[in-house]
Amino acid sequence: MKIIITESQYIKILSEERQNNLLEKLKDLKSFFKKVSEETKNQVGLDLSFLTTWGVTIAGFVKPVSDFIAGNFPEMSSADLALISTGIILTYYHSNKEMLSRVLNKLKEKELVFEFDSALKVADKLKNVFLSFIESLAVPTSKISNMLAYTFLIPILPELYEAAQSGSQVDVKEIIERSVAFLVVSFGGNLIKRLMLEIVKRFKS
């Protein structure tokens, strides 16, 4: 039997698919941070649970770097990738020199200094591109105490782009509302909404 759907039904299906993709990505970021934390605790005894509240945000920045390193060094184990990821986390999101020193010593012991340096270069490029993009939006940067707190946006930019191209305000609104609801963090939901709306506006133009 041939099933015919209307254009509005088709748009709704696409909208729901985008929202599901977005939530899956956010859940994947949460899982990534948890896995890195567990691997790091097993290797060097560091407990990163104090950063769990910011896990999705941190993973939004670190996971793309980890994926890049995994692609360029396919022989690397998940434990090695977790150690490098932790080094990136402690470099950009926490200023405890003793913790970073323990990770760096472990990286030297495992002869992963070159790989870590490569990861740092990728992370620095990603940071600069992201911050330049955020600064270019019509949101006063003086209200953003630390723009790296919004790196959870990096992996979900494709969904925001697709929502912008669909031209559906309902789609955009639902994506933003579901993102904010998922991100139970200590910065204001209103600023997140404004940032995401400005990103959509930029993609539309």
pLDDT at 1: 47
Q: What is the pLDDT of residue 185?
A: 55
Beta-sheet strands, E only, within 10-63: none
List per-residue pLDDT tens for the chain, 205 residues long.
Answer: 445 555 455 455 556 666 777 888 888 999 999 999 999 999 999 999 888 888 888 999 999 999 999 999 999 999 999 999 999 999 988 878 899 999 999 999 999 999 999 999 999 999 989 888 888 886 665 554 466 778 888 988 888 888 788 766 766 777 777 777 777 554 556 777 788 888 888 887 6
- Residue 61: per-residue pLDDT: 94
Give the burial string for 108-125 (b: 16+ CB within 10 Å, else e). eebebeebbebbbebbee
Please, which residues have CB within 8 angstroms of residue 164's CB and are 6 or more apart in sequence?
A: 172, 199, 200, 201, 203, 204
Rounded CA-CA distance 15/170 in Å is 9
| CB atoms closer than 10 angstroms to residue 41 | 15
Helix-helix angle 189-204:169-182, to 10 degrees? 140
